[in-house]
Amino acid sequence: MSEHPPSAVPLADALRRAADRLAQVGVPDAQVDAELLAAHVLRVGRGAVQAAAIRGDTLEAADAELLADLVRRRATREPLQHLTGTAPFRHLELRVGPGVFVPRPETEMVAQLAIDALAAAASPAPIAVDLGTGSGAIALALATEVPHSRVFAAENSVDAYVWTRENFELVGADNAELAFIDLARAFPELDGQVSVVASNPPYVPAAAVPRDPEVRFFDPPAALYGGDDGLDVVRVVSRTGLRLAHPGGLIVIEHGEWQGEAVRTLLAADGWRAASTHPDLTLRDRATTAIAP
């Protein structure tokens, strides 16, 4: 007689099959994705899934079927975060899905630059603005990690704003405000008062095709493409930032690894000072900062 009910599936076997299927279609870190999908199905953490597999735990038939369906969808390169409905960002767990850009780990260091500057600002209640906030990742990190600050976030995509609003309500930071507004016209009441302007704008050149299917087919084009040279929205952010920042205020802009020099030149031409480009943890140029005159 089998030691498991006929409907039970050994979790370790299900994970092995899932990882093999994902690896066959080129999903990076297939084992990690398999474990995270199982964790989503079982409503536990990834560590609990790993421990359960080692113990020899089983999956009920309904859970095994749900996991198999999620693996089939992931094998089409549908983003893992769309399947689980969440994306981690620093200490936050954000809601994401179709229509909003999924926050990336490399943006965490962009947020760190902004957080450090905001925390060091010589004000009892320094102000930060996140232009094109998307899921709200940078804005909500600023608001929660610098709790004495005031953070204002602008989003101009209807599809993204649905997710932004949900994340603002979920996090519940009472020092953060969200507005649906064109970036060029954002927050005129804050002109000359802002200590940190941050942005992760669309910066992919129009003719470039993102390599990863998850990006190419599932991220919203408005969050990816920034005109012929990729810098159309960066130009808007620079000009808006100059209007918002007080003298000595900092701007932090994420960009592609090949765009550091172009962004520094753009910022300097607009009047920003001391433009400097910073690498991410993989040593790729990821963000440029500058100081308001």
- Tens digit of each residue's pLDDT (9 = 90 or more) over 233-249: 999 999 999 999 999 99
The domain boundary, picked from 58, 76, 94, lies at: 76
Q: Are both 104 and 25 inside the same structural domain?
A: no
Least confident of 12-16, 185-189, 215-219: 215-219
Is residue 3 domain-resident?
Answer: no
Summarised one tens digit per residue, pLDDT across range 90-106 is 999 999 999 999 999 99
Q: Are both 71 and 187 inside the same structural domain?
A: no
Least confident of 58-62, 182-186, 217-221: 217-221
Q: What is the pLDDT of residue 156?
A: 96
What mean pLDDT value characterizes the chain?
A: 94
Q: Are both 170 and 63 inside the same structural domain?
A: no
Q: Are both 155 and 272 inside the same structural domain?
A: yes
Q: How far is CA 287 from the centre of its chain?
A: 14
Q: Are both 52 and 162 inside the same structural domain?
A: no
Q: Are both 72 and 202 inside the same structural domain?
A: no
Dihedral (Cα; 12, 15, 17, 21), 10-degree rounding: -160
Q: What is the pLDDT of residue 6?
A: 53
Q: Is the pTM for the entire model greater than 0.85?
A: yes
Beta bridge partners of 127: 150
Instruction: Summarize the confidence of residues 186-205 as an average pLDDT.
Output: 97
Instruction: Summarize the confidence of residues 55-82 as an average pLDDT.
Output: 95
Q: What is the pLDDT of residue 220?
A: 86
Residue 218 pLDDT level (bands cut at 50, 70, 90): confident
Three-state SS across 227-264? CCCCCHHHHHHHHHHHHHEEEEEEEEEECCCCCHHHHH
Q: Are both 107 and 247 inside the same structural domain?
A: yes
Counted domains in the chain? 2
Q: Are both 151 and 175 inside the same structural domain?
A: yes
Q: Are both 148 and 71 inside the same structural domain?
A: no
The domain boundary, picked from 49, 76, 103, lies at: 76
Residue spans of beta strands (DSSP E) within 132-221: 150-155, 176-180, 194-199
Summarised one tens digit per residue, pLDDT across range 162-195 is 999 999 999 999 999 999 999 999 999 999 999 9
Q: What is the pLDDT of residue 8?
A: 82
Is residue 17 domain-resident?
Answer: yes
Is residue 278 domain-resident?
Answer: yes
Specify the length of the chain in residues.
Answer: 293
More confident residue, 277 or 208: 277
Element (H, E) at 266: helix 260-270
The domain boundary, picked from 76, 97, 119, lies at: 76
Is residue 144 domain-resident?
Answer: yes
Domain harbouring 159, CATH code: 3.40.50.150
Instruction: Please give the Cα distance from 226 to 253 (Å, whole number).
Output: 13
Instruction: Summarize the confidence of residues 72-98 as an average pLDDT.
Output: 96
Is residue 262 domain-resident?
Answer: yes
Write out the residue range of the structural domain in which residue 287 sits: 86-291
Q: Are both 144 and 48 inside the same structural domain?
A: no
Is residue 113 domain-resident?
Answer: yes
Q: Are both 161 and 180 inside the same structural domain?
A: yes
| CB 173, CB 144: distance < 8 Å | yes
Residue 132 pLDDT level (bands cut at 50, 70, 90): very high
Would the pLDDT of 3 be above 80? no
Instruction: Summarize the confidence of residues 122-136 as an average pLDDT.
Output: 97
Would the pLDDT of 64 be above 50? yes
Is residue 210 domain-resident?
Answer: yes
Instruction: Summarize the confidence of residues 261-287 as an average pLDDT.
Output: 96
Q: Are both 200 and 233 inside the same structural domain?
A: yes
Is residue 2 domain-resident?
Answer: no
